[in-house]
Amino acid sequence: MRRLVLSLAALAAAPVFAQSGAPAISVDTLKDVTKTLSSDAFEGRAPTTPAEDKTVAYMVERMKAAGLKPGNEGSWFQDVPMVQMTAENMTPMTFTGGKAPVSLVYRDDMVVSTYRVTPKIDVRNSDVVFVGYGINAPEKGWNDYAGIDVKGKTVVVLINDPDWQAPNNQGLFDGKAMTYYGRWTYKFEEAARQGAAAVIIVHDTDPAAYGWGVVRSSWSGAQLELDEKGNHMDQSQAIGWMQLAKAKQVFASGGKDFDQLQAAAKVKGFKAVPLGVKFSVGFTNTIKRQASKNVIGMLPGTERPDETVVYSAHWDHLGHCTPVKGDDICNGALDNASGSAGLIALAEAQAKAGPAKRTMVFLSVTAEESGLLGSKYYAEHPVFPLAKTVGGVNMDGLNVIGPAKDFVVTGFGKSELEDLMKPLVEAQGRVMKPEPNPERGGYFRSDHFSFARLGVPMFDGGSGEDLVDGGVAKGHAATLDYIENRYHKPQDEYDPNWNWAGAVQDLTLYYQFGRQLADTPVWPNWYKAAEFRAIRDRSRAGARSGQ
């Protein structure tokens, strides 16, 4: 803690960035950018489509107007090599060999895809094994794959962690708070490491934290992945999801009780169970290789220009998606045209205030909706070295329902950035809190995670549900309404009646926070118990030895 005390002492000696002293956040900018990017003219901003060209050109136009400079050695862009695969000629997903065959209909009952860059996927009569939560965590003494060989087999996996129903955040897997072991991306990664031919996750709305409509819209149509050597042939052939009701039919066909095995999977020492059925599915892939783009603007630092502070937000959304009442454009107004608008509004405010001592980077990333691909590529191929990236703020959806009394931190308790943000929040008369729904795994679902996993502390937080007008009841109802009726659906559209006062509150905090990071010598780290602390320490040690 001594290093942090020294850092905060240096911070205390620096100018205080009071809320009244910050340049005003332009509501007109927030409205204009959000309305423009989420209009039908931008067709849902899908990467590697003609809509991308229009989107990134607009972001550059607004960054120039804000007063930024190109952030990648004179260019506004960082090319992100992508491979797009569109599954076609889908055969039904079937489970045979049990009491009765079970056939699942694409989109209605199941979705399936692949990471492999190959023109055809054909999995036939693969033995099916239930592997519980599909977790292999040696540090916790937990291995759902212990004692069974799943090479060439199909594994059925539950979403989230074994203790996701715990009433608090206490437990082997942090109880209610999802760990990375509960995230769907981990399930597929671990199954591939185990040699599984196919991986099917059972969708259940409560532990997944979103309904089937979200899965269907996200997993149907063209899918993107980073274009890398080896064409991802080390991954499972087929990856996908099936509805809970169908999963129960599959288990019953194999003479197994789903509810009993689900309960057994929550207990340490669970052993994987062959289901006595065989899995088949097939489809072809139309493959298209094409670079997408991250957009990078910057305000060069005056004294320590090689040290950077990052603001990030993703510009992409889902493009054309499953129609609702004839509307097939997922406009993504809140997610994340609003965050992109916040990025531009902050650029305007910081440019108006003049350059800071450290360089400020404004990063508009691609393909967040495809698995954080744009931020992942940047973090693995950084324009500004991560060892000298101080930290920053990620924005994924702004508050458009009114001012809040609370300020909620996603992944609360992980980094010293919280110590810097807390006094700013309190100066607004607000209270900083942990996220109320850590079981949704929000910490692993947006672009800050791409930086975190490589050691860079990035702050992700915003207005909570305790609204000034209406309190928690109104705020929680608004959250549920968005998740159920608009999230990843065509209904996420711009509303001229939105209340931007809460967004301005939060963006003012992001402005002050970024200024402090950029104008002081502070070097925040992760708390000692955080899983990313060792990575950051090695990174910073290397940077210091190289100075």
DSSP string, 398-434: ---B--BSEEEETTTTSBTHHHHHHHHHHHTT-EEEE
Q: What is the mean pLDDT of the chain?
A: 92
Asked whether the predicted pLDDT for residue 542 surpasses 80, the reply is no
* Model confidence pLDDT, tens digit, residues 43-58: 999 999 999 999 999 9
* Model confidence pLDDT, tens digit, residues 443-473: 888 999 999 989 999 999 999 999 999 999 9
Asked whether the predicted pLDDT for residue 20 surpasses 60, the reply is no
The residue with greater pLDDT, 394 or 214, is 394
Note the pLDDT of residue 450. Answer: 95
Note the pLDDT of residue 18. Answer: 40
% pLDDT > 90, the chain: 80
Q: How far is CA 491 from CA 206, 357, 358, 442, 482, in A?
A: 22, 43, 41, 21, 9
Note the pLDDT of residue 17. Answer: 41
Note the pLDDT of residue 545. Answer: 56
Chain-centre distance for alpha carbon 457: 15
Note the pLDDT of residue 493. Answer: 97
Across the range 124-133, mean pLDDT stands at 98
Across the range 55-66, mean pLDDT stands at 98
The residue with greater pLDDT, 547 or 430, is 430
Task: Give one DSSP letter per residue of 219-255, joined into a string.
Answer: HSS-EEEE--TTTTTTS-SEEEEEEHHHHHHHHHHTT
Asked whether the predicted pLDDT for residue 22 surpasses 90, the reply is no
460 contacts 394 by C-beta, under 8 angstroms: yes
% pLDDT > 70, the chain: 95
Confidence band (pLDDT; 50, 70, 90) for 544?
low
Q: Is 141 exposed, middle or buried, given 0-12, 13-18 or 19+ CB atoms closer than 10 A?
A: exposed
Across the range 541-546, mean pLDDT stands at 67
Across the range 18-26, mean pLDDT stands at 68
Q: What are phi and psi of 174, to 5 degrees?
A: 65, 20
Asked whether the predicted pLDDT for residue 9 surpasses 60, the reply is no
Asked whether the predicted pLDDT for residue 1 surpasses 70, the reply is no
E strands in 138-272:
142-143, 154-158, 198-203, 223-226, 238-243
The residue with greater pLDDT, 423 or 170, is 423
Pick from 338, 313, 298: nearest CA to 459: 313
* Model confidence pLDDT, tens digit, residues 177-234: 888 889 898 999 999 999 999 999 999 999 998 899 989 988 888 888 899 889 999 9
Confidence band (pLDDT; 50, 70, 90) for 10?
very low
Asked whether the predicted pLDDT for residue 157 surpasses 50, the reply is yes
310 contacts 451 by C-beta, under 8 angstroms: yes
346 in helix, strand or coil? helix
Confidence band (pLDDT; 50, 70, 90) for 547?
low
Asked whether the predicted pLDDT for residue 509 surpasses 50, the reply is yes
User: Tokens representing 189?
Assistant: 């990664």
When mean pLDDT is compared across 8-22, 160-174, 269-283, 501-515, the lowest value belongs to 8-22
Confidence band (pLDDT; 50, 70, 90) for 440?
confident
Asked whether the predicted pLDDT for residue 16 surpasses 80, the reply is no
User: Tokens representing 310?
Assistant: 């990052």
Across the range 155-162, mean pLDDT stands at 96
Chain-centre distance for alpha carbon 159: 16
104 contacts 238 by C-beta, under 8 angstroms: no
Note the pLDDT of residue 362. Answer: 98
Note the pLDDT of residue 259. Answer: 98
Confidence band (pLDDT; 50, 70, 90) for 7?
very low
Pick from 396, 398, 399: nearest CA to 474: 399
Note the pLDDT of residue 411. Answer: 86
Note the pLDDT of residue 8. Answer: 42
Across the range 394-422, mean pLDDT stands at 95
Across the range 68-91, mean pLDDT stands at 96
